[in-house]
Amino acid sequence: MADPADTALYTADQVRRIDRAAIERCGIAGYALMQRAAAAAFASLRRRWPDARRLCLLVGAGNNGGDAALVGAAALQAGWSVEAVMTRPPRGEDAGRAHEAYVAAGGRFVGGGQTQLPDADVYVDGLFGTGLDRAPAGADADWIERLNASARPVLALDLPSGLSADTGRPLGPVVRATATMSFVGWKRGLFTAAGADCCGERELATLMLPAAAYAGIEPDARLLDARIADRLGPRAADVNKGSFGHVLAIGGDHGMGGAIRLAAEAALRCGAGRVSVATRAEQIGAINAARPELMAHGVDGLPALAPLLDRADVIALGPGLGQGAWSHALWDRALASALPAVIDADALNLLARLPAAVPAGSVLTPHPGEAARLLGCDAEQVQADRYAAVRRLAAQHRAVVVLKGAGSLIAHPDGRVAVCPWGNSGMASAGMGDVLTGVIAALLAQRLDAWDAARFGVALHARAGDLAAGVQPRGLLAADLFDPLRALVNRFAP
């Protein structure tokens, strides 16, 4: 079971408040915190790159640069060769002491007219910390570009320089680290948007801070972990298919039958007792031939849909739905049924065009483009602050919302946010969202509430994607997730 500290995500302001509490309330000197950070970082360097003996530091003016300078001092004392690049003098007493300690250990700084990055086995990025709110410029930007071009291992201290600690958005040139050691607590920007591309392997060092330092500071968000699987629980023996809910998957307009079939099969694979499909008559033959366990119905209008809704417990609405008259009629009737629904794809696009109340207990699963349409902005604005966007959507629709993408976010209408640390680039392919719709619908049918179903569903989907991809994400198919989904839903593991 994960330690709660390992799942807590903080904003930059919250981390600064924790730092102040450690110093003022707990009596830990700021320089002592810097020493602890440097010791943890140097231990990580030795563990990750045991053969390294040449180190190059990129040292900023603030406390992040002080951390890097003390890493250099520790490396020199261990017999390493160390050089440090510095573009401006230290700012603040603790950073100044760290620079003096590095020089006293035999270190030297290069800078000024230096244009070549010193050669090294591994580099330490200590240019900027959590306080950066602008694009790196001038010499700092140049050093970041040179560091990325070196193709050598990089350990970033606290977060890669140039990355927003709060949003995961590159502010300009940004370090592409091999590994990132976050101090005190995880910064929420490390786990979404460009965070995954820039951070490499992530490691947390809480610097042995006592609980009192965190008191009164509730994490802004939480990482998903295996404990959410407890909400599903083992199955009793004396059950039947009616015990696990009936999902009705609605979609599959002309030429889009594959989407609704993927969603429906995912619901079966994740334990729904029965799954019906309401789709165009032309899709029935293919669905029956490929997956006869699905109860596929050709629906040409509302009279044919009504009895299917009467028998359903949960709706999976949107995969391959389209936005024409047929699509709109089914969408409108499905929302009016008041059945909890997983609303995805064209059902979201219809919702953006024709705002309507969504049934209680529903889950919306937009990608950034769909989220932008729902919010009346563009996808770039959504990606600029994914946390703000997903919270706004959840409040606006009074529903749980999954904002898909690298580091998918799940938001509750009350403001809680969970963040998925799993998934891979191979999942950026057609049909993956349809599978997620079916997964969450199956969990709703098995009587998880919307918050638990969305969190567990996103975790299952991402972990299944990782297992299916292995080390070969390119070419991953949505249907490749079915076997690992079944294995994981029976015994979820982080």
Q: Which residue has the tokens 């004396």?
A: 238
Distance CA 318, CA 256 (A): 11
What is the phi-psi region of residue 428: left when phi exceeds 0, alpha when psi lies from -120 to 50, beta otherwise? beta
Q: Are residues 83 and 169 in the same domain?
A: yes
CA distances in angstroms from 81 to 3, 76, 137, listed in the order given: 37, 6, 29
- Same domain, yes or no, for 272 and 413? yes
Q: Verify that 80 and 33 share a domain, yes or no.
A: yes
How many structural domains does the chain have?
A: 2
- Interval 283-310 mean pLDDT: 97
Q: Which domain holds residue 94?
A: 4-220
DSSP state letter for 429: S
pLDDT digits (tens, 9 = 90+) for 347-385: 999 999 999 999 999 999 999 999 999 999 999 999 999
Q: Do 379 and 471 reside in the same domain of the chain?
A: yes
Domain CATH number, residue 363: 3.40.1190.20
Residues linked to residue 156 through DSSP beta bridges, in sequence order? 125, 180
Q: What is the DSSP track for 4-47?
A: HHHHEEE-HHHHHHHHHHHHHTS---HHHHHHHHHHHHHHHHHH
Q: Does pLDDT of 424 surpass 90?
A: yes
Where residue 25 sits, what CATH number does that domain have?
Answer: 3.40.50.10260
Is 161 in the same domain as 206? yes
* Residue finishing a domain among 204, 220, 236: 220
Instruction: Convert the pLDDT of each residue in 46-103 to its tens digit.
Output: 999 999 999 999 999 999 999 999 999 999 999 999 999 998 899 999 999 999 999 9
Strand partners, 59: 86, 126
What's 163's DSSP letter?
Answer: B
Adjacency order of strands within the sheet including 154-157: 109-110, 81-86, 54-59, 122-126, 154-157, 179-183, 201-205
204 plus 250 within the same structural domain? no
Amino acid at 237: A
Position 3 pLDDT exceeds 60: no
Rounded distance between C-alpha atoms, residue 30 and residue 323, angstroms: 59
The verdict on 84 and 43 lying in the same domain is yes
Q: Is residue 311 located within the same domain as residue 213?
A: no
Q: Which of 41, 37, 35 is nearest to 55 (CA)?
A: 41
Could you tell me if 211 and 258 lie in one domain? no
Both 377 and 258 in a single domain?
Answer: yes
Distance from the Cα of residue 54 to its chain's centroid: 34
Where a domain ends, among 191, 220, 249? Answer: 220
Please indicate, yes or no, whether residues 327 and 302 belong to a single structural domain of this protein: yes
Report how far residue 394's alpha carbon sits from residue 416's, in angstroms, rounded to the nearest whole number: 10
405 plus 423 within the same structural domain: yes
